[in-house]
Amino acid sequence: MRSEKAQLTYTETRTEKLKKEGGFTLIEVLIAITIFAVGLLAVAAMQNSAILMNSNAGKLTNLSTWGMDKIEELSALSYNDPLLEEAGNPHEEFSGDYTISWTVIDDNPLTSTKNITVTVTGRGKTAFISFLKPNIST
């Protein structure tokens, strides 16, 4: 009789020991992999968005650069230069993939000034840059 009790006690302690051993079930592993996959997809979508935004920023930078170059060129001209006459609106130039145009409005917002708006269009984007050119000779 004693050996049966000893055997029973041994079996109970072995079962308890097996219950205490840690581990992951198959369902827990599948849930963890699913969460990890969703996180990776979010990072991939974010990367794609970042690439697109960088491309757009590069295009706008090129447009702004062309516009500022044209503004520097026009601001170096004399006040009465034919390229700064209101009668020729809109003035237009083509440079590769870009179209650069500018309009001139005399005496706006002040007398003896020209309001010049440069528009650069290309690669699906458009940039507008305005400046005032005063008549410093009068």
Q: What pLDDT score was predicted for residue 13? A: 66
Q: What pLDDT score was predicted for residue 10? A: 55
Q: What pLDDT score was predicted for residue 6? A: 53
The pLDDT tens digits for 4-20 are 555 555 555 666 666 66
Return the residue matching tokens 């209101």.
86
The pLDDT tens digits for 57-80 are 999 999 999 999 999 999 999 998
Please count the structural domains in the chain: 1
Give 98's strand partners: 95
Among 92, 99, 93, 95, CA closest to 122: 99
CB atoms inside a 10 Å sphere around CB 105: 14
Question: Is pTM beyond 0.85 here?
Answer: no
Give 105's strand partners: 115
105/38 Cα distance (integer angstroms) = 56
The pLDDT tens digits for 85-130 are 888 888 899 988 899 999 999 988 888 899 999 999 998 899 999 9
The pLDDT tens digits for 34-59 are 999 999 999 999 999 999 999 999 99
Return the residue matching tokens 């005496």.
107
Q: What pLDDT score was predicted for residue 130? A: 94
Q: With pLDDT > 70 as the criterion, what percentage of the chain qualifies? A: 83
Give 128's strand partners: 119
Q: What is the mean pLDDT of the chain?
A: 86
Residue 99's domain comprises 2-134
The string of DSSP codes covering the chain is -HHHHHHHHHHHHHHHHHHHS----HHHHHHHHHHHHHHHHHHHHHHHHHHHHHHHHHHHHHHHHHHHHHHHHHHTS-TT-GGG-GGGPSEEEEETTEEEEEEEEET-SSTTEEEEEEEEEETTEEEEEEEEEE-TT-
